[in-house]
């Protein structure tokens, strides 16, 4: 099909404009009928959608890599747009901006990858550099503008595309997933779990020992006692020993023959008293009372 969007050289078709068209057949020498042709006309109208598909989302995470030296694996990230019906894959030997300049090699609806083979594109070879693009489509149109990635020749870069960083990272990561590496990783993870288990067990034992010491110090629990055991009975009280009287008469001791043992007389200290000093201080003695003299002179006056 042919889409007419420009007439008279550079005049775009506007809504409501009537366009006439004819189809002329030419032979290999360029001969053609130019008269008595069948012409048809149509009037353009605005149907409410963009024929370029610019409203459709861009394809993210596009990558390409050589597979088995003769095939190209193309992958991209899935889209969350419910209006999409699938994706189309285009390839060309030169860079392109629209899908009209490339060759359609396949179409998928629910997958996010496509394998380009010589059956889908007979001109495919690993000695050339290829440009690959993926465009979404809905029920009406496919998105015209694309951003292709470059995939270099297989022998030039050992099968990876120069514009495909995601494919390089995926290939490097997959090369590490070998059996020895997986076994080493499993042993390392097991050792870490065992180390954590030992540390936790020792920590629990230490906390339990500290808790038991605290209980023993607080409640008097011994090593061979539990919480439900009755406390040990206190030792019997010793009879009180009467206090010795330092002024009591010493008991009479006897010798081996039954005779009272000799006990020397204890000297008795008599306090010395200085009466003169006590008299001067007025302590211990009564001062002499002075007799009051009686005045008898009034008797003479009476007589």
pLDDT the model gives residue 163? 46
Last residue of a domain, one of 163, 198, 219: 163
Against a cut of 0.85, is the pTM above it? no
Does 78 lie in the same domain as 109? yes
Classify residue 39: in a domain, yes or no.
yes
Same structural domain for residues 2 and 27? yes
On whether residue 14 sits in a domain, the answer given is yes
Q: Are residues 86 and 121 in the same domain?
A: yes
As a whole number of angstroms, the distance between CA 264 and CA 287 comes to 44
pLDDT tens sequence across 179-196: 888 888 889 999 999 988
| Residue 161 confidence (pLDDT) | 44
d(CA 39, CA 16): 19
- Does residue 18 sit within a domain? yes
Backbone angles phi, psi at 109, to 5 degrees: -110, -45
Give the per-residue pLDDT at 235.
Answer: 60
CATH of the domain at 109: 2.60.40.10
Of 128, 163, 198, at which residue does a domain stop? 163
pLDDT at 44: 77
Last residue of a domain, one of 163, 191, 212: 163
pLDDT for res 197:
87
| Cα(136)–Cα(144) distance, integer angstroms | 9
Give, in order, the Cα–Cα distances in Å from 60 to each of 209, 257, 296.
60, 127, 152
Domain annotation covers residue 179: no
Total structural domains in the chain? Answer: 2
pLDDT of residue 17: 80
3-state secondary structure of 212: helix
Residues 91 and 19 in one domain: no
Exposed/middle/buried for 194, CB within 10 Å: 0-12, 13-18, 19+? exposed
Range of the domain at 9: 1-46
Residue 257 lies in a domain: no
| Residue 200 tokens, joined | 């936790």
- Structural domain includes residue 210: no
Same domain? 98 vs 146: yes
- Among 92, 99, 97, 103, smallest CA distance to 129 is for 92
Confidence (pLDDT) at 160 = 44
User: pLDDT per position in the chain (303 positions), as tens?
Assistant: 677 778 877 788 777 788 888 888 889 888 988 888 888 888 877 766 667 888 888 999 999 999 988 899 999 999 888 888 999 999 999 999 999 899 999 999 888 999 999 998 999 999 999 999 999 998 888 899 999 999 999 874 444 444 445 555 555 566 677 788 888 888 999 999 998 888 888 777 666 666 666 666 666 555 555 555 555 565 666 655 555 545 555 555 565 666 666 666 666 666 666 677 777 766 555 555 555 556 666 666 666
Region at 37 (left for phi over 0; alpha for psi -120 to 50; beta for the rest): beta
Residue 215 lies in a domain: no
CA 45 to chain centre: 58
């Amino acid at each position: 099909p042919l889409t007419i969007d420009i007439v008279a050289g550079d005049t775009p078709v506007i809504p409501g404009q009537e366009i006439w068209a004819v189809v002329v057949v030419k032979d290999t020498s360029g001969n053609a009928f130019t008269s008595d042709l069948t012409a048809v006309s149509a009037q353009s109208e605005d149907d409410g959608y963009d024929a370029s598909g610019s409203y459709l989302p861009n394809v993210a995470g596009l990558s390409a890599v050589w597979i088995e030296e003769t095939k190209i694996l193309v992958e991209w990230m899935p889209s969350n747009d419910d209006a999409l019906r699938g994706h189309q894959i285009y390839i060309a030997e030169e860079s392109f901006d629209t899908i009209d300049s490339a060759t359609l090699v396949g179409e998928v609806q629910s997958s996010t990858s496509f394998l380009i083979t010589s059956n889908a594109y007979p001109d495919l070879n690993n000695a050339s550099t290829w440009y690959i693009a993926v465009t979404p489509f809905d029920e009406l149109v496919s998105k015209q503008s694309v951003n292709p990635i470059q995939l270099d020749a297989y022998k030039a870069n050992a099968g990876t595309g120069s514009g495909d960083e995601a494919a390089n990272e995926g290939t490097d990561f997959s090369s590490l997933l070998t059996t020895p590496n997986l076994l080493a990783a499993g042993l390392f993870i097991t050792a870490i779990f065992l180390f954590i288990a030992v540390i936790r067990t020792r920590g629990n034992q230490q906390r339990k020992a500290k808790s038991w010491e605290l209980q023993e110090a607080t409640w008097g629990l011994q090593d061979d006692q539990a919480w439900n055991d009755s406390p040990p009975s206190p030792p019997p009280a010793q009879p009180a020993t009467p206090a010795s009287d330092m002024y009591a008469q010493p008991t009479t001791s006897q010798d081996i023959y039954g005779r009272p043992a000799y006990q020397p007389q204890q000297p008795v200290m008599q306090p010395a008293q200085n009466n003169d000093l006590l008299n001067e201080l007025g302590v211990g003695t009564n001062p002499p009372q002075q007799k009051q003299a009686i005045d008898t002179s009034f008797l003479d006056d009476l007589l």
